[in-house]
Amino acid sequence: MIERFADKLAETFIKGELSIGDWSVEKGAKINLAFVPASATSRGVKIPLAEIEATEAAGFATKLLLEVALQAQSQGCRLYKGSSVPARLPTLAPPIPGRSRKVMKRGADELVEDEERRVLGNGKGEVGKEKGRGQVKSGGSLANPNKKARKYAEIQFESD
């Protein structure tokens, strides 16, 4: 019922049958809400709007926000109750703690061994080259080393 009233009120405002008259930002200004019917024979109705105090406005806003919050809480944090049931998100299985720890420990041990091999492999203590890596062909793509490099022919002009 209230929603229909609000919709009807919005329609009358859009049609120009409802307006706010004598608008002023000054304190104590006499502002009115005017209902003007579509026919020009009738004068319409003017309702004076009175200002409210700041404490009263804050109390009203707090009460309104509290009502919205309570409705949202009771409706599962939705503004309007829906007839459809929300889809459940798939739940992920928790990780297996023992297995991941072993993998992490083994990975850390391998890193330490690799670092020792690099340092000890070169007599001066500098980091040496890795043995497993082959040389990159000159002109080959770094992103795809198996791809052949393009060969460009030098262009010569008559003026040269």
pTM, two decimals, is 0.26
Question: pLDDT at position 2, please?
Answer: 78
Domain ranges of the chain: 1-48, 52-79
The full 3-state SS of 86-144, as one line of letters, equals CCCCCCCCCCCHHHHHHHHHHHHHHHHHHHHHHHHHCCCCCCCCCCCCCCCCCCCCCCC
pLDDT by position in tens, the chain (length 160) = 778 887 887 787 787 777 766 677 777 777 777 776 665 566 777 777 777 777 887 888 888 888 888 887 777 666 555 555 555 555 666 656 555 555 555 566 676 677 667 666 655 544 445 555 556 555 566 777 777 777 778 888 888 6
Q: Where does residue 71 rank: exposed (0-12), middle (13-18), buried (19+ CB within 10 A)? A: middle
Query: What are the tens digits of pLDDT across the range 36-60?
Result: 666 556 677 777 777 777 788 788 8
Reading the block at residue 20, the tokens are 């706010």
Tell me the C-alpha distance between 122 and 74, whole Å.
71
The CA distance from 17 to 44, in Å, is 9
Cβ distance 34 to 46 under 8 Å? yes
Quote the tokens at residue 92: 């992920």
139 closest CA partner among 126, 156, 151: 151
